[in-house]
Chain A
């Protein structure tokens, strides 16, 4: 008998034969098409209309953040010093007078004097800052014993034109280059100099080129109601020879610069000077500019790109750590589980803001701000993922297929990652879709509060943009509006998308509908 037992493993192959090689099975053949788990989930996901819409919006936002920083003519480092917190303006659209993208700002209670000031800019530079007069109010005022009608206007002004002329100090070489550019393009940048002695000693207003009656810069009109130019013709103070475009009405006597210790001081029309500085491009800001003078459109793209990449990276790392940690906890259970659970209990008890701060204080000098920010996220971020994996492992580890695999001699790691883990995969991946918006939210909050400043690394971030915008809520609401809209849309669509995925993948809802 014992002999026969020993030979069980060495039964010659030819002694085996199929029991039912020729027998026909009368079981009905499965004639429906095979559908995989993922295909099934996708089918259910597509039924959820709001999630599908969210997915499309999400795709759009992701593409926005990837394409805009590359396609935009502006770089995040392009910072204009004067176009700061300016409203949205696109020259081509502004010309159509649609009331949008025209860089407009409403100025209330403008009197005749300031209307003349606007007119001065319009007449000199040829760019009228006043888009339209929204409202005119008439008041009767007693003036020199008589009742006089006084008008006050509410106007909409183009902030880009309104800037008018500014003083710039150029070196002789720069001055010559600017003249050459003027000759080449035919755009008047340099305007004749006005001496402050001719305009009641006003030194801080480069837009006055006409005779004024008081130190506030009120214009003096001639008999026909025109402004009277007071351009300087004193050749002796001219800074450098000028051989370029002259403004209409110039007989060649006006001077275009004055000497200023080794350089020249000029009056330039800032709009055209901007074109000169930016290879002929007119200022064009779809969302307006930030308080740093960056293009808000580009800045949002740059900030969002960082947020998204960062969030995906954090989620991927947390997913890996959490999955392994949770797998070990769930698979081994008992003492191991308890000890590991205590560790994650302690780590999860530390407030996130404290973790971030401590990492910034200790590591930012050594490994940089962004890596230490990343570590802060990783330190506590994996805990929820680990808990999830652990739960799934407890659910699956007692099932028959695991026992079967164990009986066949599979090792622990094989059981964990080859047999149990793939079953938990759906739940883990879908929770990842809900982790990403959480990371973006925390990242935005931390940069908003200024605890972490990633501007040197990433250019800017949505949180930084919003905290800058919040400082000027009343004067430049657009600087807060667009980042708010972007981050809200991103969060809403991520959460809707994630919820849709979770519902689609959650096996407990399988077959519930229909």
Chain B
């Protein structure tokens, strides 16, 4: 198991390196951001670009880039959006907001989602189950910006309970801030709740019909006991990795929701970097999103092995 995990981590690092290299070369192939004419910083920027190897072969540039990242954690200097500021610094200013909003969302939606899923599974083939399954299907299908619209229109405009946009400032743990984050948190939650409801329901219905459940009932356990002690534990083999996955996904924020509610997070930074052609920021967010995706899938895969002793990872049959 340990060896397998190590192998997977090494493999992941390799994939990350290759993707970074590809994106890096593609980004560097683009003409670098032009400086405003007569800008006093022109010489400094030119010198810096020279040091980053802008006129050398791409692989040399990539070497310099990696060296900077690994030795000094220097991801470059923003040359458009936040002129002259350290990219990593900007990034870490933005990160907490994304994490907090998404964390609220999943802390709120995972219990609800799992609860509804269990409820639907226990009431299998009754109207409750059909209702929940249909609702889940519908909620999963509808894009998140539609929820954002509904919430903004009903709660922020018609009822006036919530603010339209997130409050500016860095006081992330005050009540005002929490309220101003609520629309975004709610918009994000719909999909997560529905996702967990579906997974839990699907797993639990399958477990509930298995033979060991019948055995458990036969030897005298009540339905509740059998469900909690036997069915739930088996069902969580699938649900828990999904929880881990969404906790890692928290880091990334959401491109669309952050834009709609003016959340100064990583997602917004990415979109701004793309639309403003700020390549150093774009490069950093690219690596970040790639890493998150890879780590999430790795954690999900490996956690199966840790949670369920029956699953032996990496063994040859």
Contact = CB atoms under 8 A, between A and B. Distances in A.
B16 A349 contact: yes
B141 A495 contact: yes
Interface residues of B, number: 41
B197 to A, nearest CB: 15
Given A358-B26, A445-B143, A349 B256 contact: no
Given A349-B290, A349-B294, A477-B153, A470 B145 contact: yes
B256 A487 contact: no
A495 B137 contact: yes
Interface in A39-55: 50
B290 A449 contact: no
A302 interface: no
A491 interface: yes
A63 interface: no
Contact of B256 (A350, A449, A473, A499): A449
A492 B259 contact: no
A200 interface: no
Contacts of A358: 23, 26-27
A486 B26 CA distance: 37
Contacts of B221: none
Contacts of A491: 141-143
A357 interface: yes
Contact of B138 (A353, A473, A492): A492
A4 interface: no
B19 A346 contact: yes
Question: Which of B19, B22, B150, B260 has the most chain A CB atoms inside 10 A of its CB?
Answer: B19
A233 interface: no
Contacts of B290: 349-351, 354
Interface in A482-514: 484, 487-488, 491-492, 494-496, 499
Nearest to A442: B143
Contacts of A441: 143
A448 interface: yes
Interface in B123-159: 134, 137-138, 140-143, 145-146, 148-150, 152-153, 157
B10 interface: no
Interface string B60-78: 0000000000000000000
Nearest to B157: A474
Interface string B16-41: 10110011001101100000000000
A477 B146 CA distance: 12
A77 to B, nearest CB: 25
Question: Which of B30, B141, B271 has the most chain A CB atoms inside 10 A of its CB?
Answer: B141
Given A345-B15, A474-B157, A495-B140, 14 more contacts: A346-B18, A346-B19, A349-B290, A350-B19, A353-B289, A354-B289, A448-B145, A448-B256, A449-B259, A466-B145, A474-B153, A480-B153, A488-B141, A488-B143
18 contacts: A346-B15, A349-B19, A349-B290, A350-B290, A353-B274, A354-B23, A354-B290, A362-B26, A445-B143, A449-B255, A449-B271, A451-B274, A470-B260, A473-B157, A477-B153, A481-B149, A484-B149, A492-B138
Please give me the 9 A-B residue pairs with the lowest Cβ-Cβ distance, nearest first: A491-B141, A351-B289, A492-B141, A484-B146, A495-B141, A488-B142, A354-B286, A357-B274, A474-B157
